[in-house]
Amino acid sequence: MIEFQNIGKSYDGVMAVDNLNLHIAQGELVVFIGPSGSGKSTALKMINRMIDHDRGHILLEGREIDSFDVRELRRRMGYAIQSVGLFPHWTVARNIATVPQLLGWPRERIHQRVCELLTLFGMAPAQFLQRLPHQLSGGQQQRVGVARALAADPAVLLMDEPFGALDPVTRATLQLELKRVHQSSGKTIVLVTHDIDEALLLADRIVLLNHGQVVQVATPLALLSNPADDFVLDFVGRADLGIKLLSLKPVAPLVCRAPAPPGSPTLANTASLREAVATLAVHGASVLSIVNLQQEVVGSLHAADVFSPATPSHG
Amino acid sequence: MRWQAHPVLAVCTTLGLWAAWALPVARLAPNRLLSGEPVFLSALLPGWAGWMVLPLIVLVFSPTQAPAPIPTVSAPGGLMDRWHPVTTLLLMAALLAGLFWLVGRYAQQVTFTESRLARTSLGAGFWSLLALAWLASLDAVQHLTRSAVLRHALMGGVALPFVTLLMLGVGHDLSILKEYANRDDVFWTAVRRHLQIVAVATLPSVLLALPLAWACSRFTRLRQAVFPLLNIIQTIPSIALFGLFMAPLAWLALRFPALSQAGISGVGLAPAVLALVLYSLLPITRSALAGLDQVPEATQTAARAMGMSAGQIFWRVELPLALPVLLPGLRTAVVQTIGLAAVTALVGAGGLGSLMFDGLFSAANDLVLLGVLPIVLLAMLVDALFKAAISFTRPATVLDGAPPVAQLADAGRYTA
């Protein structure tokens, strides 16, 4: 879908991005992460030519991005940023309709699409269509911002720290919504963040950058289990690496069929191992009773199995 | 119930009583060039008429039912009940019309009884009372409504009885209206010419100022070069600036016959409009730039990233968002141009200024007034229209539920 080939960009002789090679597959959610000045945002902005690269080639669906008309290229990609940048003098409806209007969609189709997107983000069209941005909460503004980016059904969605300015509760909600939208729409999404938890939660693959260079490209699980060097280890958080790893693993494979003793604390079978450990710690228990969505007991989870690499011993 | 004085009304009433007693409401002269004998209001009224000020005094010290006076910016209406400002407005409308009717009737009598050449002009007392009644009305209107449009409509209502009398010909024996009757065709030609000068000067300055401001918002260097230059132009006296253009334009017209055929010459519209354009450039450019500067960076980035062209960004995003700051600057420029256009009569551009200068050179004061009053009215009208338009705009920085400009500027609007 998107391919970086030997991409370089320098500002006053300092390399912001150096020799970046990366292939982003169709439908993949790739997260660029790194400390400030690592070049993650620059790399993102080069995709829709908000910043022009100095060296190398960027291909979109196999075609050099420089060969597109720059406005046409940008209209093919959704773009959402931390400060949202809604047009303050336009209603929510007109904000979302920006790109479809530029593309000359018929009025009826635009209206339908706007309503569809508002519904997708849990905002009742009747209630929100005619509101102005300043009449929305921060979370609602960012939802409208993402809806606007998705409006013309672009194949690629670029997001530059989209949830950075939100409070933790709203951020968590929007992260889950994004995950849902990604899974249901199959869009290729490139997201920039400096929040490792956000990256671990959302990413299919994480691209960790430092000083403009790629340090490691890996799935969240691989990044935690095989960090390439000390920098990666420090960045993901040496101290709670294990906890983060647990949060990526589901309880299901470790559940044994034998029921837990009566009175054991219960946990849903869709939970992560991190939640299992938390529940064990809270109740001071060594065994959990695992239940399904209908609250029927399906088995048990032993503390010992969580911490030993072996398969369940009580099978 | 609380007893309280209404400060603006109290001051206006006090000054008004003094003006009515001490200043001549009219002047009677044997002909149009001599300055006449003062005529006082007391001479036009029967003895018992003094009691007519009583309702005003009552109004000044009227009881109000407001629970407590809370003079805050957001609630100026809390000071008074609604009946109070309404009564004030009615009283002021009656006062304006009554005063005019009184003076007009007096002028009519003079025409019958004295020589046909005798002139009755409006005196200092009349003008003072007019101004004070207007001030009191502005204050009352401020307590009635927030809407700029409604305020202007109410002020129009206050003037309505007065204007109706004028239309009915009540004052046609007053000197100023005799001057008008003597040259009503010249008068309306002059009004049209004046408006033409203002329009022809404003349009090019907007067309120049917008791109200039746009360029300045992008290139800081340009900003540093442009504004000192515009500031210098602003300091050149208007007559000197007209003079500066006369010689080069005359030369150009002589050198290129096509130009002189197009109506461009050293005197007339060309030097006038050129100078007025230059004067308007500073206020419009400065406010347009300030307007563009406060468009949020993120909004511009988003517009660019959505694939808008530079033109689309300017017309759809930047200009609408700059309007709340741009319009007040444009208002300043247009009001200033209406005033300066009077001076352009000196270089032969015509307009209401030509009536004014005719009057000045022939020492006919009422002819001067016939030129000046419409200029003042025009400026007030345009000012009101702009204020109404501005009250509908909303600053770009409002993102967190702050009220629109109209309400922010509310408190100070009519106090100046």
Beta strands A14-24; A205-210: pairing state: unpaired
Other Cβ atoms less than 10 A from the Cβ of B76: the count is 18
Tokens of B293: 């500067």
Rounded distance between C-alpha atoms, residue B381 and residue B379, angstroms:
5
Interface test with A, best of B306, B309, B318, B394 (most A CBs within 10 A): B306
B89, B140 Cβ separation under 8 angstroms: yes
Confidence band for B269, pLDDT divided at 50, 70 and 90: confident
pLDDT above 60 (res B76): no
pLDDT above 80 (res B77): no
Per residue in B89-124, pLDDT (tens digit) is 999 999 999 999 999 989 888 888 877 778 888 889
* pLDDT confidence of residue A126: 92
Higher pLDDT, A17 or B48: A17
The residue of chain A nearest to residue B296, with distances taken between CA atoms, is A85
**Identity of the residue numbered A58:** I
Confidence band for B410, pLDDT divided at 50, 70 and 90: very low
* Cα separations in angstroms, B386 against A154, B165, B293: 43, 28, 22
Residue B152 Cα to chain centre, angstroms:
12
pLDDT above 70 (res B411): no
Closest CA to B335 of B296, B263, B371, B283: B283
Rounded distance between C-alpha atoms, residue B342 and residue B371, angstroms:
9
Sequence-distant (≥ 6) Cβ neighbours of residue B339 within 8 angstroms: B375, B379
At which residue do the structure tokens 């003895």 appear? B47
* pLDDT confidence of residue B388: 87
Q: Judge whether A72 is closer than 8 Å to chain B, CB to CB.
A: yes
**Is the Cα dihedral A33, A36, A38, A44 positive or negative?**
positive
Inspect the interface and report whether the beta carbons of B302 and A133 lie closer than 8 Å. Answer: no
Residue A312 sits at the vertex; the CA angle it makes with A310 and A315, to the nearest 5 degrees, is 145
Listed ranges A129-133, B32-36, B182-186; the one with the highest mean pLDDT:
A129-133
Rounded distance between C-alpha atoms, residue A305 and residue A301, angstroms:
7
B279, B245 Cβ separation under 8 angstroms: no
Other Cβ atoms less than 10 A from the Cβ of B54: the count is 9
Q: If you average pLDDT over residues B305-317, what whole number do you get?
A: 92
Rounded distance between C-alpha atoms, residue B52 and residue B238, angstroms:
48
CB < 8 Å to B298, chain A: 81, 83-85
* pLDDT confidence of residue B135: 92
Inspect the interface and report whether the beta carbons of B301 and A85 lie closer than 8 Å. Answer: yes
Q: If you average pLDDT over residues B230-255, what whole number do you get?
A: 85
Rounded distance between C-alpha atoms, residue A143 and residue A295, angstroms:
33
Per residue in B371-396, pLDDT (tens digit) is 999 999 999 999 999 988 888 876 54
A259, A300 Cβ separation under 8 angstroms: yes
* pLDDT confidence of residue A219: 92
Cross-chain CB nearest to B299 (options A74, A85, A134): A85
Q: What mean pLDDT, rounded, does chain B reach?
A: 83
Q: What is the DSSP letter of B317?
A: I
The residue of chain A nearest to residue B323, with distances taken between CA atoms, is A89
B94, B165 Cβ separation under 8 angstroms: no
Phi-psi label, residue A21: left if phi above 0, alpha if psi -120 to 50, beta otherwise: beta
The residue of chain B nearest to residue A100, with distances taken between CA atoms, is B306
Tokens of B311: 């033109």
Tokens of A205: 């693959």
* pLDDT confidence of residue B63: 66
Distance between B405 CA and the closest CA of chain A, angstroms:
14
> Which A-chain residues 93-112 have CB contacts (< 8 A) with chain B?
98-99, 102
pLDDT above 50 (res B56): yes
Closest CA to B122 of B26, B24, B22, B20: B26
CB < 8 Å to A135, chain B: 401
**What one-character-per-residue DSSP string does A70-111 give?**
HHHHHHTEEEEETT----TTS-HHHHHTHHHHHTT--HHHHH
Confidence band for B413, pLDDT divided at 50, 70 and 90: very low
**Identity of the residue numbered A44:** L
Residue B256, H or E segment? none
| Half-sphere exposure of residue B159: CA atoms within 13 angstroms, side-chain side | 16
At which residue do the structure tokens 């003062």 appear? B38
Q: What is the DSSP letter of B263?
A: T
Distance between A151 CA and the closest CA of chain B, angstroms:
11
* pLDDT confidence of residue B2: 55
* pLDDT confidence of residue B179: 86
Cross-chain CB nearest to B399 (options A75, A98, A134): A134
CB < 8 Å to B317, chain A: 87
Q: What is the DSSP letter of A269?
A: T
At which residue do the structure tokens 């309404």 appear? B86
* pLDDT confidence of residue B220: 85
ipTM of the complex: 0.82
Other Cβ atoms less than 10 A from the Cβ of B389: the count is 15
Residue A35, H or E segment? none
Backbone angles phi, psi at A62, to 5 degrees: 80, 0
Inspect the interface and report whether the beta carbons of A133 and B312 lie closer than 8 Å. Answer: no
Instruction: Report the largest interatomic distance among the alpha carbons of chain B, rounded to a whole angstrom.
Output: 81
Confidence band for B64, pLDDT divided at 50, 70 and 90: low
pLDDT above 80 (res B404): no
Q: Is A64 exposed, middle or buried (0-12, 13-18, 19+ CB in 10 A)?
A: exposed
Q: If you average pLDDT over residues B334-342, what whole number do you get?
A: 93
Tokens of B182: 């003597």
Rounded distance between C-alpha atoms, residue B207 and residue B196, angstroms:
17
Sequence-distant (≥ 6) Cβ neighbours of residue A85 within 8 angstroms: A145, B296, B298, B299, B300, B301, B302, B303
SS3 B31: coil
Confidence band for B348, pLDDT divided at 50, 70 and 90: confident
Backbone angles phi, psi at A256, to 5 degrees: -105, 155
A to B CB pairs, distance under 8 Å: 69
Cross-chain CB nearest to A88 (options B306, B309, B399): B399
* pLDDT confidence of residue A259: 84
* pLDDT confidence of residue B400: 40
Q: What is the DSSP letter of A294?
A: T
Q: If you average pLDDT over residues B5-22, what whole number do you get?
A: 87
Residues of B with CB under 8 A from a CB of A: 296-309, 312, 317, 320-321, 394, 396, 398-402
Q: Which parts of chain A sit beneath pLDDT 70?
A: 309-315
pLDDT above 90 (res B243): no
* pLDDT confidence of residue A250: 86
Rounded distance between C-alpha atoms, residue B90 and residue B97, angstroms:
11
SS3 B60: helix
Q: Is B372 exposed, middle or buried (0-12, 13-18, 19+ CB in 10 A)?
A: middle
Closest CA to B62 of B14, B1, B11: B1
Partners of A14 in beta bridges: A11
Rounded distance between C-alpha atoms, residue A103 and residue A151, angstroms:
11
Q: If you average pLDDT over residues B292-307, what whole number do you get?
A: 91
Partners of A64 in beta bridges: A59
Cross-chain CB nearest to A102 (options B299, B301, B307): B307
**Identity of the residue numbered B115:** S
- Neighbour-count burial for B241-272, b at 16+ CB within 10 Å, e otherwise: bbeebbeebbeebeeeeeebeeebbbbbbbbb
Per residue in B127-170, pLDDT (tens digit) is 999 999 999 999 888 888 888 888 889 999 999 999 999 988 88
Tokens of A35: 């400390």
